[in-house]
């Protein structure tokens, strides 16, 4: 699914240069479930941004399904994100003025899906995360766990090849955390996704097929 070769990402803040990823080389096969762990500031979110085609490396190459993301133009990256990559964040990132149903439908607009099909697919996606009854609710009328379910439905409604999750349970209480991780794992199994999840929860990480540890921009496999 992904091949990273010597991927380096640096950020410049005033006179200071931060190396967020340092010559990362990595192969992620189709369908793998990968857990990413490591200290704050280690480079986890930066790696996810690269995998999510949200940003390009400073040097090195990332190929995703034969697309070279490091060399691709903005419109190619936008297209890849719209079609192939679903992303879930710690803070849900729902649009507060739209209902759950509308938030999920939004993901299908860039794909040119017509109004009626958007509505049906969004309803199905909400049902698949257990929210059949909540389509008409605004995010503020939903619990944190329910909002994250909406975000997961929004990420999956496009039928992506990859689901990326950056600390998806970081803002949730313990019991809700388990529910969300169970849901992500269920989706991974049922949909044959590649699932890449940043998590501080070691129990979750142990359930993944593969664990990566990132510190100071260096990535290594954990045995
Ligand atoms: N947009 C940015 N501008 C400047 N520095 C950044 C930016 N994003 C991340 N960094 C820096 O890059 C390093 C890695 O950050 P990040 O990938 O967010 O780590 P993690 O997700 O593991 O906490 C940190 O030192 C962080 O301060
Ligand atoms: Mg982070």
The pair of three-digit structure tokens given for residue 34, joined into one six-digit string: 């990968």
Mutation probe of ligand 1 site: the residue of 7, 14, 41 with most atoms within 8 A of C-beta: 41
Tell me, what DSSP letter sits at residue 114? -
Q: How far is CA 112 from CA 115, 118, 196, in A?
A: 9, 9, 27
Given a cut of 80, whether residue 33 has pLDDT beyond it is yes
The pLDDT, as a whole number, for residue 202 is: 83
Closest-CA residue, ligand 1 atom 12, reads: 20
Question: 133 CA to middle of ligand 2, Å?
Answer: 32
pLDDT score of 204:
81
CATH number corresponding to 30-55+72-221: 3.40.50.300
* Average pLDDT score over the chain: 95
Place of tokens 């190459």: 61
Q: Which residue has tokens 């679903």?
A: 86
- Torsion region of 132: left, alpha or beta (phi above 0 gives left; psi -120 to 50 gives alpha): alpha
Q: Which ligand is nearest to the CA of 214?
A: 1
Which ligand 1 atom is nearest residue 9's CA?
12
**Ligand 1 closest atom vs CA 13:** 4
Query: Nearest residue CA, atom 4 of ligand 1?
Result: 11
Answer yes or no: is pLDDT of 223 > 80.
Answer: no
Whole-prediction pTM value? 0.95
2-13 and 59-64 as β-strands: parallel, antiparallel, unpaired? antiparallel
Work out the percent of the chain whose per-residue pLDDT is above 90: 93
What confidence tens digit (pLDDT) does each residue in 115-149 have?
Answer: 999 999 999 999 999 999 999 999 999 999 999 99
Number of the ligand 1 atom closest to the C-alpha atom of 214: 22
Nearest ligand, CA of residue 20? 1
Strand ranges, E, within 51-172: 59-64, 67-68, 85-89, 162-166
The confidence score (pLDDT) of residue 179 equals: 92
User: Which pLDDT tens digit goes with each residue over 160-177?
Assistant: 999 999 999 999 998 899
**Is 87 in contact with 161 (CB distance < 8 Å)?**
no
Q: Which residues are CB-neighbours of 160 under 8 A, at least 6 positions away?
A: 83, 84, 85, 86, 193
Structure tokens at 121: 């697919």
Query: Closest residue (by CA) to atom 26 of ligand 1?
Result: 41
- Give the domain ranges of the chain: 30-55+72-221
Q: Which atom of ligand 1 is nearest to 21's Cα?
A: 14
pLDDT in tens, 45-98: 999 999 999 999 999 999 999 899 999 999 999 999 999 999 999 999 999 999
| CA-proximal residue: ligand 1, atom 18 (nearest) | 45
Element (H, E) at 76: helix 74-84
């Amino acid at each position: 699914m992904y091949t990273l070769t010597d991927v380096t990402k640096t950020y410049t803040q005033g006179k200071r240069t931060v190396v967020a990823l340092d010559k990362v080389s990595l192969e992620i096969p189709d369908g793998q479930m990968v857990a990413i762990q490591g200290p704050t500031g280690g480079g986890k979110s930066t790696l996810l941004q690269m995998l999510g085609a949200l940003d390009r490396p400073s040097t090195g190459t990332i190929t995703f399904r034969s697309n070279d993301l490091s060399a691709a133009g903005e419109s190619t990256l936008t297209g890849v994100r719209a079609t192939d990559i679903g992303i879930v964040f710690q803070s849900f990132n729902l649009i507060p003025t739209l209902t759950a149903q509308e938030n999920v439908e939004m993901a299908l607009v860039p794909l040119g899906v017509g109004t009626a099909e958007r509505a049906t697919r969004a309803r199905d996606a909400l049902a698949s995360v257990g929210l059949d009854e909540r389509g008409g609710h605004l995010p503020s009328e939903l619990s944190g766990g329910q909002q994250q379910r909406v975000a997961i439905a929004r990420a999956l409604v496009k039928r992506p090849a990859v689901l990326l999750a950056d600390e998806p349970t970081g803002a949730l209480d313990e019991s809700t955390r388990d529910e969300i991780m169970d849901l992500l794992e269920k989706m991974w199994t049922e949909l044959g996704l590649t699932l890449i999840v940043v998590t501080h929860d070691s129990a979750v990480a142990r359930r993944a097929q593969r664990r990566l540890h990132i510190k100071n921009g260096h990535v290594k496999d954990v045995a």
